[in-house]
Amino acid sequence: MIRSSIRRQILGIAVGLIILMVIVSALSTVMTRKVAHQLDELTTKYVEANNHMARMQAESLERSLELRRMVIAKMQSPSDEAGFAERKQRYDAASTAIAQEASAIHVLLNAIIDDLSTESDNAALGRIDGRIDDISKDVLRYLDEEHARLFPLLEAKTQDFPEIRRILSRIDTLRDELNQRIDSIRADMISQVQADAAVTTRDQRRTIAVSAVLTGLAAILGLTFSMFVSSGITRPVRRLLDGTRAVEAGRLDGSIDITTQDEIGQLTAAFNAMVARLRRNERMRETFGRYIDPRVVETLVDHPVLAATDGQRRVMTVLFCDMKGFTSLSEGMTPQGLVKVMNHFLTAMSEHVRTNHGVIDKYIGDAVMAYWGPPFTESGEGARLASAAAIGMLGRIAALRTELPELLGVRGAGSECDVRIGIATGEVLVGSIGSEFMMSYTVMGDAVNLASRLVGANKVYGTRCLISDAARAAAGDATETREVDWLVLAGQTHSEVVFEIMAAKGLKPQQSVLRERYTEGLAAYRARRWDDARRAFRAALEATPGDEPSKILIKRMENFEVNPPPGDWDGAWHFNHK
């Protein structure tokens, strides 16, 4: 009886376990199918719809590029009719592709809405579908209308290029609006994807919980089976979640192993492809950041209005710096050595521009051009920061004279290395300058020319850093300066008061004496009191032997004593070198 009772109990437990396992299996099957269906909807509909929108954007860009190329083909002399026809075919193909992508998006969204077995936000999807219709009815229709206006102009015997450019400008505006709308729709679609993924995750966890409760009654076998099933589902999802958090934190150096071939495996593969594209884009940004000042890129991205080709008038401070003795240094040097020297020199000079919040506009041979002013620095701070950068550059030369021989492995190389710096402040034209094919955000104007001319004036006066009167006044008491001369530079009719930057705040006693005596000599020189001027300049030389500006003016007076200046001479020196 006992055996029979135990047998019955064992059989009852076995039957119960079998029933529970059947129930668990049935419930798990139903719930897993629901989750699989939701994942299928997520990957084959939501993600695919987002891909169609991305391709729609790409086709829009392709169509715009082909339109530009059609215009270029017509602008050639003679016009490239074969090229125009080929571009026209590609343009038509892109237009057809845009319509096809929009239609495919409609089909996918309607399929999601019609599927009542999933918990999708059908109202939000309906609004997205309506916004796509609005794009077709509004922006694309307006684009087609503008294109319809453009083609007759392109095919006319005499092209009205001003009108063509105006139409192209309107087309660019409409294309930007199209991209913005598609970006907005894609953002909303991603929100729907995240919501659908949250529902899927919730259902997965519910399946795991129900399975765990029932398998607990089904003893160790059911529990082991449920743990195996649950871990097989949740582990890839958790890896995806960890990977998403890593991407959100900016870590793009990892990828997730694909351990399954189901929808989660496909989602993992899509995630890895997305991270690879993000990593490539980040490398491109870092690479091109070395060719374009990152502050310019960030400012233009954050403030697109600054990229307008109209330009703006602003008061900016411009600095030019080039290497003294570059020609003699480069003689006999290998190309590799010359590149090393130039890169090292330009890096050393650029450090002080960056440290003082300046923007490096370009490198011209051995010269650096930089500028300060809104929106990169506060208004009124440019001259002070540029002067500080110049003082830093001058202070770096002593170390450079030691570093260059070590860099080249040649004793004595770079011993004569020095710099000439010119700084000027004034109103300039600021904006995107260039052609429709390539633009550069730069500055143009008299202040730029003046700063460049002052670099050359250093050669005449034997100075290292000359600064315009406007820049000196704007810098205030940030630096110690002395007036060097009145110059009428090449291309100008009025004289400029030119100063030399002597040091940062505080002069040595001999420097103070030099400035006082030189100022006295300059006043006597302009009054044609040659003897008094000569005594003052010689006193300046006693305080600072080798002061080149004093020597230059003494020599100039010797010439004036033989060939006196004209009666209307105002003391300015005409400097005709660029």
Q: Residues near 413 by Cβ (< 8 Å), separated by ≥ 6?
A: 329, 404, 405
| DSSP 8-state code for residue 428 | E
CB count in 10 Å sphere of residue 166: 14
How would residue 8 be classed by pLDDT, with cut points 50, 70 and 90?
A: very low
Least confident of 76-85, 340-349, 559-568: 76-85
CB count in 10 Å sphere of residue 194: 13
Of 70 and 464, the structure prediction assigns the larger pLDDT to: 464
Of 341 and 137, the structure prediction assigns the larger pLDDT to: 341
Of 328 and 278, the structure prediction assigns the larger pLDDT to: 278
The per-residue pLDDT for range 287-328, each reduced to its tens digit, is 555 556 666 666 655 555 555 556 788 899 999 999 887 766
- The pLDDT of 475-479, averaged and rounded, is 88
Query: What pLDDT does residue 9 have?
Result: 43
Query: What pLDDT does residue 157 have?
Result: 63
Of 413 and 372, the structure prediction assigns the larger pLDDT to: 372
- The pLDDT of 434-455, averaged and rounded, is 84
Least confident of 124-128, 178-182, 411-415, 428-432: 411-415
Q: Residues near 193 by Cβ (< 8 Å), separated by ≥ 6?
A: 42, 46, 47, 50
CB count in 10 Å sphere of residue 469: 16
CA distance 189 to 157: 47
Positive or negative CA dihedral for 323, 328, 329, 335? positive
Q: Where are the domains of the chain?
A: 2-217, 305-506
How would residue 3 be classed by pLDDT, with cut points 50, 70 and 90?
A: very low
pLDDT at 353 over 90: yes
**Model confidence, pTM:** 0.53
Query: Two tokens at 272?
Result: 């890895």
Most confident among 8-12, 31-35, 315-319 (mean pLDDT): 315-319
Query: What pLDDT does residue 230 have?
Result: 60
Query: What pLDDT does residue 516 have?
Result: 94
Contact 457, 322 (CB under 8 A): no
Of 21 and 516, the structure prediction assigns the larger pLDDT to: 516
Query: What pLDDT does residue 308 have?
Result: 53
Q: Is the bond preceding 564 in cis, omega lying within 30 degrees of 0?
A: no
pLDDT at 388 over 90: yes
- b/e burial code for range 471-484 (CB count within 10 A of at least 16 → b): bbebbeebbbbbbb
Q: Is the bond preceding 78 in cis, omega lying within 30 degrees of 0?
A: yes
- As to burial, measured by CB atoms within 10 angstroms (0-12 exposed, 13-18 middle, 19+ buried), residue 180 is exposed
Site of tokens 């998006």:
105
Contact 282, 247 (CB under 8 A): no
Contact 497, 481 (CB under 8 A): no
Q: Residues near 32 by Cβ (< 8 Å), separated by ≥ 6?
A: 207, 233
Query: What pLDDT does residue 216 have?
Result: 75
* Percentage above 70 pLDDT, the chain: 78
Query: What pLDDT does residue 207 have?
Result: 73
**SS3 category, 459:** helix
Least confident of 74-83, 225-234, 435-444: 225-234
- The pLDDT of 351-380, averaged and rounded, is 89
**Greatest CA span in the chain, whole angstroms?**
145
Least confident of 153-162, 365-374, 476-485: 153-162
Instruction: Say what angle helices 382-408 and 335-355 make with each other, to 10 degrees.
Output: 150
pLDDT at 497 over 70: yes
CA distance 139 to 143: 6
Query: What pLDDT does residue 372 have?
Result: 94
Site of tokens 């160790």:
220
How far is CA 532 from each of CA 60, 522, 529, 546, rounded to the nearest angstrom? 77, 10, 6, 20
**SS3 category, 572:** coil
Q: What is the mean pLDDT of the chain?
A: 78
Of 263 and 322, the structure prediction assigns the larger pLDDT to: 322
CA distance 445 to 373: 14
Most confident among 54-63, 116-125, 211-220, 529-538 (mean pLDDT): 529-538
- Cα 308 to chain center, whole Å? 16
Class of domain 305-506: alpha beta
CA distance 253 to 247: 9
- As to burial, measured by CB atoms within 10 angstroms (0-12 exposed, 13-18 middle, 19+ buried), residue 509 is exposed
Contact 244, 201 (CB under 8 A): no
